[in-house]
Structure 1
């Protein structure tokens, strides 16, 4: 008699839905966010121009790149060329127009700013300058006025669709300060209603910001599944999170152990689900226009980006044009430094031999190496693809 496993098919279907096997896909290395009242159709090019001018003035050659970012000469030359090309071709990969903390409470202005920002984004789309990902951060339901958040979103989407004829690709929403899990279901209902009203592609997806200990407590593997495929990403918010824990102001930093804990919970909760992860930001700009102060800012930001990368967070938030230089320099150096060695180990595995140094890789390690190569190829393109 054949022995069967009762209920296996049902459990396996749940597994496939919760942990889908997904093809590798592009993920931006950063998100910039700009207060709505300061946003215009020239914002991406302005950020790129300011970053390029800073690089020209304070990072003129490969020797300077090697000194500031502690890179070998050959790697520094490669990274320097790539960063310059990136700033000229695509300085912004992911953009959020901010109506939350960066914008503040402006009851008499928010309607107009929502329409104006949407109009500017539609103009960017028409001109071919819309970043590959773009969208807005609405106000939190935790603020006690979900109607304000919903009205801004509706005005914004209506204006974009009216001007562009449809919702351009790459759109996503940022939903901040999710202190109660129930807010997520309520937000999904709002999105469903807007899809119906504006004939939007379904489902409109959004990212949650993990900015409070309360949020960390309800992160789990079936959360994305329960939201009907709408949850695209989880982004860490360092300043609200560390403030909520009661850390002193000088310890509100991205590399604090408390932030590491939150990030690791995010990783554990969403591993295998397809939900992307992003780290937070550095709330600082150069203290002055002097080379010393610009270099100090780049070194601090680069250290935080390296910390994120080493913890498996391949995206972060940038708050100032200067951050673009240190973001791309650090990301490129991180991927290029290991690219050839990773590729050699994958080739050795495929040829059923030990890699250099006698390394005998396990299948799980090979899977990780292949994923790292894909991330590198994605991060290094399109301005300077890896040959």
Structure 2
């Protein structure tokens, strides 16, 4: 004799119990924990010391064009772009196309993101100690002029073919270390005031809040981020502008592992109250602080991989970008020395792309060659099979691939990045049968 099940009768109570217990967690599931990077993320950040951007004899707003010209000259001195692609291991089937697309990228947009550096890279050799504050003040005002030109102030020409402007730009100021905090905030305030006076700051923040990049370096504790948020609120009130977002540079062990054993990057992001655009890994400060000798410091050292593993987990699906650091092995010198520098850079860029980190730092114009060549080659290599798989997934065709929503999200993100960096053309992207809105929906939800 069967006994009637009592489970259906208690289900409403069970559901109510779970709903009550998870009331504060449920909004995170479709919200904060389901926010992949679906907007354009730069493939790199170029760091240029302030004294090499502004001041007597410095290129100012023309710097991206000069870097692009220098990169093209180095590439032309080597030979045909496709030959360099083959030398670096790009498959024969892709070498010609990768070479052509790389050259086009260096002509069109050599620098995607540029940071005028008032921190470690900024030196004031030859400036008397008692004149250094005035010198930095002057350069900060000049930096505001340059940024205004790039962001399209009246009279500026952003994106002009003769002088291409970066899509993203900003400054790195000094850290919240008590010894230099005042100087860093002074430079930040001068730059922001200069942008506001030119009617640029509000416009940029309203049009694309990710375009202006303010980099807070050497963070050691999430309370420094909390303090910076308060500083920004005060500046916003004074200048009458919308919310200012920023980046956090992670280059100390305390920013990875807190004193209580917790993962500090998650706290840094929370402390930013939605303002943190990106976490940037700082290669050399971090490695040195852990006792790694100079000869062994590298983006692929085990201590670097550990730090980036923690950063990658903290930033995944919460709407925060992640950037790898830099290599200080510059491609200059003889032909063989340049080629060796390119080999090292190519290897490191490809390595972080393969591990899912889509951005890194560049420190020299010649690194633009391998930044763009390697990025284009990476996204070029599998775009066609990815497009085929995604098209089959949307159609429900499981005859060759049995992909799941999580894989579909990854494939849609891959194709969107491939298109964004110039590796895939509009026509090629259209072979998926999906428009940009549908691809974004797939990236976020795993379905159209």
Report the TM-score when normalising by structure 2: 0.80
Where 2:309 maps in the other structure, the secondary structure is helix
1:212 alignment partner in structure 2:
252
Shift of 1:209: 0.8
**What is the CA–CA distance in structure 2 between the aligned matches of 1:208 and 1:173, rounded to whole Å?**
9
Where 1:246 maps in the other structure, the secondary structure is coil
RMSD: 2.0
Where 2:104 maps in the other structure, the secondary structure is helix
Q: 1:361 aligns with which of 395, 400, 403?
A: 403
- Report if aligned partners of 1:219, 1:266 keep a CA contact under 8 Å in 2: no
Does 1:140 find its partner at 2:175?
yes
Where 1:33 maps in the other structure, the secondary structure is strand
Give the structure, 1 or 2, with the largest relative contact order (CA under 8 Å, sep 6 or more): 1
Q: 1:85 aligns with which of 96, 104, 110?
A: 104
Q: 2:142 aligns with which of 107, 116, 133?
A: 116
Where 1:234 maps in the other structure, the secondary structure is strand
2:6 alignment partner in structure 1:
none
Does 1:183 find its partner at 2:224?
yes
Where 2:396 maps in the other structure, the secondary structure is coil
**What is the CA–CA distance in structure 2 between the aligned matches of 1:23 and 1:61, rounded to whole Å?**
31
| Matched residue count | 381
Deviates more, 1:6-15 or 1:70-79: 6-15
Does 1:96 find its partner at 2:115?
yes
Distance 1:286 1:143, change over 3 A: farther
Does 1:379 find its partner at 2:421?
yes
Does 1:249 find its partner at 2:294?
yes
- Report if aligned partners of 2:175, 2:217 keep a CA contact under 8 Å in 1: yes
**What is the CA–CA distance in structure 1 between the aligned matches of 2:349 and 2:85, rounded to whole Å?**
16
Per-residue CA shift, 1:133-163, capped at 9, x if unaligned? 1100010112523111111001011112212
2:38 alignment partner in structure 1:
24
1:159 alignment partner in structure 2:
194
- Report if aligned partners of 1:83, 1:328 keep a CA contact under 8 Å in 2: yes
Distance 1:84 1:207, change over 3 A: same
Distance 1:57 1:245, change over 3 A: same
Does 1:308 find its partner at 2:333?
no
Distance 1:342 1:381, change over 3 A: closer
1:274 alignment partner in structure 2:
319
Per-residue CA shift, 1:279-318, capped at 9, x if unaligned? 0011122341x22121111111000101111111110000
Structure 1 unaligned spans of 5+:
none
Distance 1:23 1:303, change over 3 A: closer
Shift of 1:354: 3.4
